[in-house]
Amino acid sequence: MRDLLRFEPLYQERVWGGRALESALGRKLPENQPIGESWEIVDRPEAQSVVRAGHHAGQTLHNVLAKHAADVMGPKWPVGRPFPLLVKWLDCRERLSLQVHPPAAVAAELQGEPKTENWYIAHTTSDAHLLVGLKRGITREQFERAISEGTLESCIHHFRVAAGDSILVQSGQVHAIDAGNLILEIQQNSDTTYRVYDWGRVGLDGQPRRLHVAESLRSIQWNDFEPAPVRAAPTSGVIADCAEFSIRRVVLGAGERLTIGAGEQPRLLSVVSGTVRCGGEGSTGSRAPFGQALVRGENVLLPYAGAFTFAAESTAILLVTEHFT
């Protein structure tokens, strides 16, 4: 398999969502629903990405991997193993719950899944913040007291963000996304979230959403103080590097190109600004012209066996996710 894989988005209704995926990314959304998430690339029992075009159109990501694991993921990839990452857009019209994902050792104990994730801020309002980690010196005892007193926000590290900023949120870091952020989240393939506080909000059914205080207290890393974001920059560079994946920002000027070689590793390509056109070695082995446009908001899987070149029409910013096998 030498063709890049593009998938149909899976839109998720969320009480804190809005319509920014429509206004900012030009998506056609389900009507009259607050859409908080678009699952762009996912391979889970409850949610499957479906290839939207090309030779494998209509097939799920799981089925593609079952048939072409070596071509997509490399010769050492075990047949039947799910795709290890989940890519989603988040439209945070309102603030999300204060939450934590369990570290690997704790996840096994709680029958959950670890979830390290990276947030890239594609758009934000002038007063939007992120909440990640504890304020310096906060203890578990102070945190628990703040839960009972309803003052938990005072324990959490806040910082203002701008478009182009990003931060790696490790399993065990308590966090929340503030209202007014449009975020590309690249994460481990997990859907385990423990809510420790929800700002007194009710869900779409009008009832308070379930909290997971005991699980959260078991999962929080109590020595994690005031992590710093990676600020926006006009140059290429690594913005996230962890055991589960790495992400590099690639800035292309008009006419500049990014080339991805065949037989190296599978990669994800995310267009967070501008438009690029793809050329490469097609499934017949011939060199494809620069015809296929990838616009802002698109996320594609570049198989191990494929070679690709992306040319920018004007200034473009790409995220290349790799080292996840």
Q: What pLDDT is attached to residue 282?
A: 46
CATH of domain 5-219: 2.60.120.10
Question: Distance between CA 204 and CA 218 in Å, rounded?
Answer: 28
Rounded to an integer, the average pLDDT of 257-263 is 97
Short-list 121, 123, 120, 175, CA closest to 19: 123
Mean local confidence (pLDDT), 314-324: 97
Mean local confidence (pLDDT), 121-136: 96
Would residue 195 show up in a list of annotated catalytic residues for this protein?
Answer: yes
**Cβ neighbours around 153 below 10 Å, total:** 14
- At residue 284 the predicted structure's pLDDT band, cuts being 50, 70 and 90, is very low
Give the pLDDT score at 285.
47
Range 213-218 average pLDDT? 98
- C-alpha 278/C-alpha 4 separation (Å) is 9
* pLDDT tens per residue, range 131-177: 999 999 999 999 999 999 999 999 999 999 999 999 999 999 999 99
Percent of the residues in the chain that have a pLDDT greater than 90, as a whole number: 93
Comma-separated ranges of CATH 2.60.120.10 domains in the chain: 5-219, 237-322
Please name which of 214, 221, 208 lies closest in space to residue 147, comparing C-alpha atoms: 214
pLDDT in tens, 169-204: 999 999 999 999 999 999 999 999 999 999 999 999
pLDDT for 16-69, tens place per residue? 999 999 999 999 999 999 999 999 999 999 999 999 998 899 999 999 999 999
Indicate the pLDDT class of residue 1, thresholds 50, 70 and 90: confident
- Which class for 105: exposed (0-12), middle (13-18), buried (19 or more C-beta within 10 A)? exposed
For 3, how many CA atoms within 13 A lie in the half-sphere containing its CB?
15
- Give mean pLDDT, residues 263-283: 88
Predicted local confidence at residue 263, as pLDDT: 96
**How far is Cα of residue 283 from the mean position of the Cα atoms in its chain?**
29
Of 3.50.50.60, 3.30.300.30, 3.40.190.10, 2.60.120.10, which CATH number belongs to 237-322?
2.60.120.10
Choose the catalytic residue: 2, 195, 249, 267: 195
pLDDT at 306 over 90: yes
Q: What is the pLDDT of residue 280?
A: 60
Q: Which of the four pLDDT bands, split at 50, 70 and 90, describes residue 2?
A: confident
pLDDT, average across residues 227-247: 97
